[in-house]
Amino acid sequence: MSPLTTLRTALSSLGASKLRSGLTLLGIVIGVAAVISLMAIGRGAQQAITANIEALGTNLLFVRPGSTSQGGVFGGQGSASTLTLDDAYALLDTVYAPSVAAVAPELRATGQVVAGGKNTRTQVVGVTPEYQFVRNVPVASGQFVTWGQVDNISEVAVLGSGVSETLFGFRDPVGQTVRINGRQFTVVGVLKSQGGGVQGLFDDQVLVPITTVSYRLASQRTTQGGVTVQTVNVQVRSGDVIDSAVQEIATVLRLRHRITGDDDFTVSSQQATVETLQQTTNVFVVFLGAIASISLLVGGIGIMNIMLVSVTERTREIGIRKAMGAKRRDILLQFVSEATLLSLGGGGAGVLLGLGLSRLMDGRSLGNQTLHTVFSGDIAVLALVVSAAIGLFFGIYPAFRAARLHPIEALRYE
């Protein structure tokens, strides 16, 4: 029997009991649609989370002073417990740290920011000009902190968009003055609004020269009078050299701090965070898919059930076909293709329904969160393949039973 004839025969058999075929199909449609839409939600959440992290800037490493710096450290007294501005710029050494592309040290303080009658309590971040590029915080109006301002310990501020809005409404604050912890600062710029997520934290911060925080706001210095930093944001040349960059940074800092025992700093990578999160969210996506797969499995059992009923009902037909010269393979193929057609048809319709559902859900707000869905072709293809496989798997047993029937007994069946 030619494949085309087999297919046509299967279609006409299915067409003979439309309601039954339709209901069986529905089982698969619901299963596949559930898998597709739940995976779309899962992928959407995954993408939102990773996008959030990646918005911080790619290839970032964070160097922070170690928490164990107080105990057990012998060499390098004084500077050992804290990172300094000099430590940060020492990382730019092209011989010891060739993988480092840029450094952006930061030092934070909490401040009361006042302008006119309004005031807000916020984080004041001391930065250098590289900060803008390393941490990807573009300026909407005015300009970023300059080297001149860092050198002069200038009392200038770049406001986050939220801070600007709180203090000045929708007026452009560039050129205005604000008071931070009682000192007068000139506003030189406003940051672009970053929206939600981790990057959105910048909206509610004020950036000033790092030296200004050190000398005017925090008065946190080393015994030698150097500027201490809380975090050094390190941009690595490429994602491939992150591991070597970590080693290089550690080497430079150990040399500078004359460390022989435990490190007094930690280096953490952006990549590691993203990977951990991705692993976590992968579990989440797979979990959602697994739950949805249960309905697909139920749909598959529905197919098997209907095919078994169909084989019993059509025992006589099988006998007739065998008497007319149908071989085992012909009968087997006929029933397997009926089951596969059912499941593939259901799979196709399910993909469309799932696509529709995920489109419908995309951008809907759910409580205070916005639902974000990502429909991807690979899931659709996977769902189709899986549904075809389900048809094959659950169809093969009934088909085998049909093929095994003895023609005489099948013909005698009432």
Q: Write out the residues near other proteins by the rule CB under 8 A.
A: 1, 5, 9, 12-13, 16, 316-317, 319-330, 407-408, 411
Task: Closer to other proteins by CB, 277 or 411: give it.
Answer: 411
Closer by beta carbon to other proteins, 153 or else 320: 320
C-alpha distance from residue 397 to each of 24, 136, 310, 400 (Å): 17, 60, 12, 5
Distance CA 414, CA 408 (A): 12
Least distance from other proteins to the Cβ atom of residue 20, Å: 13
Nearest approach in angstroms of CB 278 to other proteins is 54
- For residue 300, give both structure tokens: 């598959």
Distance CA 107, CA 229 (A): 5
- Least CB distance to other proteins at residue 2 (A): 8
Give the residue from 307, 373, 305, 381 showing the smallest Cα distance to 350.
381
Q: Which is nearer to other proteins, 54 or 317 (CB)?
A: 317
Min dist CB 9 to other proteins, Å, is 7
**Could you tell me the smallest distance in angstroms from the CB atom of residue 337 to other proteins?**
14
Supply the minimum distance, in Å, between the C-beta of residue 26 and other proteins. 22
Pick 17 or 220: Cβ nearer other proteins: 17
Which one, of 313, 396, 380, 305, lies nearest residue 347 by Cα?
380
Nearest residue to 311 via CA among 387, 394, 389: 394
Query: Distance between CA atoms of 300 and 184, rounded to whole angstroms?
Result: 72
Cβ at position 334, least distance to other proteins in Å: 10
Joined tokens for residue 14 = 């299915």
Q: Which is nearer to other proteins, 95 or 324 (CB)?
A: 324
d(CA 137, CA 192): 7
User: Count of alpha carbons within 13 Å of 223, Cβ hemisphere only?
Assistant: 6
Indicate the residue among 12 and 94 with the shorter CB distance to other proteins: 12
The one-letter amino acid code at 130 reads: E
CA angle 198-204-208, nearest 5°?
A: 105
Q: Which lies closer to other proteins via its Cβ, residue 309 or residue 366?
A: 309
Q: Which is nearer to other proteins, 5 or 68 (CB)?
A: 5
Three-state secondary structure string covering 294-329: HHHHHHHHHHHHHHHHHHHHCHHHHHHHHHCCCCHH
Q: How far is the CB of 347 from other proteins (least distance, A)?
A: 26
